[in-house]
Structures are given as C-alpha cells and as structure tokens.
Chains A and B, each alone.
Chain A
Amino acid sequence: MSDGAAGRGRPIHGHRTLRRLAVKVPQYVLIVLVAASANFALPRLMRGDPVLVLLGEDAGRLPPEAIAKEKEDLGLDRPLVVQYGRYLSGLVEGDLGYSFRHRRPVSTLLRERLPWTILLVGSALLVSTLLGVALAALAVWRRGRRRDVASLAVCTFLESTPPFWIGLLLLIWFGANLNWLPLFGSVSVDRSTGLERVGDILLHLVLPGATLVLSSVGATFLLARASLLGVVRDDYVLVARAKGLRERTIAFRHALPAASLPIATSVLLRVGALAGGAVIVERVFSYRGVGTLLLEASFGRDYPVLQGGLFVLTLLVVGVNLLGDLLYPRLDPRVRR
C-alpha cells in the first residue's frame, strides 16, 4: 500500500501509513491474543469435569477409554504452561479442536458456515451504507427543523427495535402471508446449479439482509448526516453557493464526495455490531451461517464450536477494523496530518 503513495511522488504518506501500522497492528495482535487466551482459560475455570467442558457434553457418551485417550491428547495432566503453548501452536495451524456433536473438526465446520455469514453481513453493510448516505444527503439538502427532529426520532426508533423482531415481522408478512420469499435457510435443498443457484441464494438473502439493513440504516443515516453537516459549513461549499450552483448540485456533487469516504470507513468500524445482530437474525431465518452454528452449539453445550466460532468472528471483526484504520487516512486526506 505504501508503494502506491510513494509512486505518486508523496513518499511521506507511505511512511505515515507504516507508522500507523506500527501502532495499530500490535494493538490488534494483542486483542487476538487476549481472545485466544480467554478461550483457553474459560473452560479451565469452569466447575465440572474439564474433559467434558473442553470436548463438549456430547463427548460424555464416548466410551471411558476414548475419554481417557482424549484426556491424554489434550495433555490435561501436563503443567498449564505446556498446555497453553500447545494450544497456541495448534491455533496457528488452524486447529480449533474437534466437535463430538458434529463428529468433525471445528475448523471444517466454520469453513462451511463462515461464507454465508460474510455474504449476509457484507451485503447488508453495503446496502445500508448506500441507503443511509443517500437518505442523509437528501435530508441535508432539504433541511428543516421539523424534518430533522422527525428523522432523528425515526432513526432512534429503528435502532431501538430488536432486529430479530423486525425479521419476524418481515418473515410473517413477505414469507408466510404473501408467500413471495422463502421462509428459511440460505439455499434450497434441490441441487440447482449455475445461475439458478445464484438466484436462489439471492432470494434467500433478501429477508435476512433486509432485516439487518433496516436495523442498521438509522445509525448510518445519523452518522452520514452529521458528517455532511460538518462539510456543509466548509468554505468550498460557500464558494459553490456563491457561484450560484443549485443546492441539489452542491449536496450531491460537492458535499457528498467529500463526506462519503470517512463515512464509509467509520461504517467499516461498525461491522462488529452488525455481525452480532446477524447471529440472532440468522436464527430467525434458520440461515446456515456461523450464528446458527453458535446457537446450536450453545444448546448442545458444544464448547469447542462455541469458542472456535467466537474466535473466528473476533478475527473477522478485528480484520475489518484494521482495514478501516488503514483505509481511513488514505481516503480522507484531512486526517493525514
């Protein structure tokens, strides 16, 4: 990334990106390490047989000699430091443990489910950002006291509404009553291929996606509106107005581009909240993402899946945060100082 800035003859920005990296990366590495260590510590702090806590309660149905063997493999008789070292080195190799409930490695399970969650969260993030920014531009363009208060009230109300409840209502209305859209799942069971399958996946995406968009667009709107209002007071907007440009042109051609990039990055920073909402919304629609997997694991007390899922979601959110941190100064020249 720094090469690009250097290529444009501004090497100093490259250095700043590097310096920013040098500050941010260790912070995020530390966060990931804390998450991993919490995963290590939590089951060992619990009461009850540590083997069952580490393997999940379904492991209790294994024959005793199998449990004894697992105990040995886990090294529960070794000192904690050794256990911790082995745990970390396993983690680096992508070893998140084994689910006796699913009879498969946790990493395989997650690899299957993660793309669905990324698809759901990613598309919702994209749509709610575009929609929120467009609405904010409209709101700033035709400003009025009463309208401001109304939009603030509506956005706060949307943010205050439980996402899963919005999802349920959409499901009842568009799925059950009107029969327009599929009620559950992320793809139909019949193995259609090619374009048909893509269409099927998109159809299944509409309701859960719309739920997440509805519950997050209010926050994006308020953020974008504040950021646009900040820009509107800038000198070049005054100049544009002095040139006699129409308000609409000013809002969409001048103010919006200046304000939209910082908006986009700060929206990236909110991906954690959206991923959290997605977990619950996935359950409403039985969407086959990490959220459904986590909730099933919670009921079966399948602790390896629970911890692996949380760890991977944390990695994802940290990754996106890092991306946002790195993009921010590149997109918004004003914070490069």
Chain B
Amino acid sequence: MRRRHRSGRNLAVAGGVVLVLFGLLAVFGSDIAPYDAGERAGRPFLEPSRAHPLGTDDVGHDILSELIGGARVSLMIGLAAAAIAVVAGGLLGVVAGFRRGAVDAALMRTVDFALVVPTIPLLIVVASYLERGMRSQVVVVAVLLWAEPARIVRSQVLSVRERTHVLAARTFGARGPYLVRRHIVPAVAPLLIAQFVRVVSIAILFEVALSFVGLGDPVRRSWGSMIQFATDRGAFLTGAWKWWIVPPGLCVAVVVCSFAFVGMGIEERVDRRLARGAAG
C-alpha cells in the first residue's frame, strides 16, 4: 500500500518539475525565445534549420518563439480562469453549506444545471456573444467551471459544521463569521487547492479548444490558435505539420497532464488528512 503511494507520488513530482519548467518558460519566455513572437524573422514556410529550429509560419514568424509565447498566454488564461472559478465556487459552496435553507437549495439547483449542460457548446455560444479577447475568454471559462468546486466544498462544509469541535464552539456562543473563519475555511482550504489544480487543467483545455475554433484572442497567440492557424494554412498537406501542429498540441498535453498528476498527488494527501479529521 505504501509502495503504491510512492509511485503515485513519483508521477506528482514529475508533473511538478514539468510545471516549474513551463512556468519559467512563461515568465522568462521573451528572454529565452530566439526572436520576438510577432517579428518577421525569416522567409515564410521555412523548414526547420539552425536559425529556426521549428521553421517559420506563413508570414515568417519563428514558430519556436511563438510556441514559447503561447506558454504564457495558455498558462495565464488557465490559471486566471481557474482562480476565479475556484474562489467563486468555494465561496458559494461555503455560503450554501453553512446557511442551508433556500440559499442552499437555489444554489444546488444551479449547480445541477451547470453540471448537466454540455459545456463546450455553451462555451461557444457565450463566447459568440462577447468581444473576442483574453479577458472574456477567462470569464467564459470561469463561468463554466465554478460548479464542481462549489459542490465539493459544500458537502465538506456540511460535514464539518456537524463535527464535535464546531458544535462545541457553537455552544460557547461562537457566531457565523467567526466559525467560518476559524473552522470552516481551514477545513475546506486543502480541498480548494486540489480543486484549483484540477480546474486549471480543464481550463487550459477549454482555452485551447476555444482558440482552435477561432474564438480566442485575435492578437495574442495561444497554443490553440497556433494549431488553428497551422490547419487553416494547410500545414497538414505539406510536411509542415510535424513542426507546426505537433509541438503546440504536445505542449498542451504535457502541461495539462502534469497539472492532473500534481492534482492527484494533492488529492491523495488531502483525502488522507480529511479521513483523519473525520475520525478525530
């Protein structure tokens, strides 16, 4: 049993290392990249060479530099959307679980709705009403992802508020805000962290899908819009897909997968801690 944990932890550690690398790439990307992502660095449609390791695109942008720039866009949208979704969902979950009654019922029906509605079609419809850009992308993705954290946090709050130490605090006259701050928030915080990591990976996948169908930011290129441009310029008819379509997709898969591994590692830990908390 202990061994099983260790191999799960290896995956989490590997995921963490990959994420740190991509994080550095996103932060210092403009210093590392050989060219500016928007600069015409060479002739269009160049094959990979020493000057352009991944060739150039249809207007002569260096694809490697675009790929590095895409890390920042995709990660930023994913992290921002997940942060909003988890904070909002967590807040709603705490309120619903703590106050119960009509607030809870209304909120849970909304959660039911948000969990059943087919997300990607909804994403497309909402995005079509809004201006295209990074900010609306973040909002759209966040709006679609708050429900799961809200549901999970609520059920945890429901269990915590009945535990003996919380009941004891109540009998000593502790009131709502104090109880929430002192007992509820610490109890749900680890869950929120696990949820955050999980939601980031979904948010990145959503952003990439949205950009791929052309509903992304028209100016800043993410990994999704790189793939979109490559397919629109017929990269799969020439050999160019090997260095134009494969790398951005692979980056997405590796980053999302790393977030998932880290999330699993955290969840395992949180579950064990929560189990201990429930017993005590």
Q: Does A301 contact B (CB under 8 A)?
A: yes
Contact A161 B253 (CB under 8 A): yes
Q: Which residues of A contact B125 (CB under 8 A)?
A: 294, 298, 306-307, 309-310
Q: Which residue of B lies closest to A149 (CB)?
A: B7
Determine the distance from Cα of A157 to Cα of B7 in the docked complex, in whole angstroms: 16
Determine the distance from Cα of A16 to Cα of B236 in the docked complex, in whole angstroms: 55
Q: Looking at the assembled complex, report how far the CB atom of B161 sits from the nearest CB atom of chain A, in whole angstroms.
A: 25
**Band of interface residues on A:** 35 or more
Q: Which of B120, B129, B208, B254 sits near A277, CB closer than 8 Å?
A: B120
Q: Does B121 contact A (CB under 8 A)?
A: yes
Contact A162 B209, CB 8 Å, known A157-B257, A172-B241: yes
Q: Does B103 contact A (CB under 8 A)?
A: no
Contact A164 B209 (CB under 8 A): yes
Determine the distance from Cα of A273 to Cα of B113 in the docked complex, in whole angstroms: 14
The A206-261 residues at the B interface (CB cut-off 8 A) are: none
Contact A314 B118 (CB under 8 A): yes
Q: Which residues of A contact B275 (CB under 8 A)?
A: none
Contact A35 B121 (CB under 8 A): no
Q: Looking at the assembled complex, report how far the CB atom of A11 sits from the nearest CB atom of chain B, in whole angstroms.
A: 30
Contact B260 A156 (CB under 8 A): yes
Contact B116 A317 (CB under 8 A): yes
Determine the distance from Cα of A172 to Cα of B241 in the docked complex, in whole angstroms: 8
If over half of A's interface residues share one DSSP class (helix, strand or loop), that class is named, otherwise mixed; here it is helix
Q: Does A25 contact B (CB under 8 A)?
A: no
Q: Looking at the assembled complex, report how far the CB atom of A274 sits from the nearest CB atom of chain B, in whole angstroms.
A: 9
Q: Which of A35, A165, A273, A298 sits near B245, CB closer than 8 Å?
A: A165
Contact B116 A272 (CB under 8 A): yes
Contact A295 B252 (CB under 8 A): no
If over half of B's interface residues share one DSSP class (helix, strand or loop), that class is named, otherwise mixed; here it is helix
Contact A280 B113 (CB under 8 A): no
Contact B208 A160 (CB under 8 A): no
Q: Which of B11, B128, B241 has the most CB of A within 10 A?
A: B128
Q: Which residues of B contact A157 (CB under 8 A)?
A: 253, 257
Q: Looking at the assembled complex, report how far the CB atom of B48 sits from the nearest CB atom of chain A, in whole angstroms.
A: 17
Q: Does A276 contact B (CB under 8 A)?
A: yes
Q: Which residues of B contact A28 (CB under 8 A)?
A: 116
Contact B208 A162 (CB under 8 A): yes
Q: Does B168 contact A (CB under 8 A)?
A: no
Q: Does A171 contact B (CB under 8 A)?
A: yes
Contact A160 B117, CB 8 Å, known A145-B7, A149-B8, A301-B128: no
Q: Which residues of A contact B3 (CB under 8 A)?
A: 145
Residue-wise, chain B 1-30 has the 8 Å CB interface mask toward A (1 for contact) of: 001100110110000000000000000000
Contact A321 B124 (CB under 8 A): no
The B36-54 residues at the A interface (CB cut-off 8 A) are: none
Contact A171 B212, CB 8 Å, known A272-B119, A321-B116: no
Determine the distance from Cα of A42 to Cα of B249 in the docked complex, in whole angstroms: 34
Q: Does A180 contact B (CB under 8 A)?
A: no
Q: Which residue of A lies closest to B8 (CB)?
A: A149
Contact A310 B252, CB 8 Å, known A42-B129, A149-B11, A283-B213: no
Q: Which residues of B contact A92 (CB under 8 A)?
A: none
Q: Does A21 contact B (CB under 8 A)?
A: no
The A152-200 residues at the B interface (CB cut-off 8 A) are: 152-153, 156-157, 159-162, 164-165, 168-169, 171-172, 176
Q: Which of B8, B120, B127 has the most CB of A within 10 A?
A: B120
Contact A272 B117, CB 8 Å, known A295-B124, A295-B213: yes
Determine the distance from Cα of A35 to Cα of B123 in the docked complex, in whole angstroms: 14
Contact B11 A169 (CB under 8 A): no
Residue-wise, chain B 225-246 has the 8 Å CB interface mask toward A (1 for contact) of: 0010001000011000100011
Q: Does A59 contact B (CB under 8 A)?
A: no
Q: Which residues of A contact B213 (CB under 8 A)?
A: 280, 283, 295, 298
Contact A172 B260, CB 8 Å, known A272-B116, A276-B118: no
Contact B129 A152 (CB under 8 A): no
Contact B119 A273 (CB under 8 A): yes
Residue-wise, chain B 70-114 has the 8 Å CB interface mask toward A (1 for contact) of: 000000000000000000000000000000000000000110110
Question: Given A168-B245, A276-B123, 20 more contacts at CB 8 Å?
Answer: A30-B112, A148-B7, A149-B8, A153-B11, A159-B260, A162-B249, A164-B227, A168-B227, A172-B241, A272-B116, A272-B117, A272-B118, A273-B119, A275-B118, A294-B124, A295-B213, A298-B213, A301-B128, A309-B125, A310-B121
Q: What are 13 A-B interface contacts by the 8 Å CB criterion?
A: A27-B109, A156-B260, A157-B257, A159-B260, A161-B256, A165-B253, A298-B124, A298-B127, A306-B124, A309-B121, A310-B118, A314-B117, A317-B116
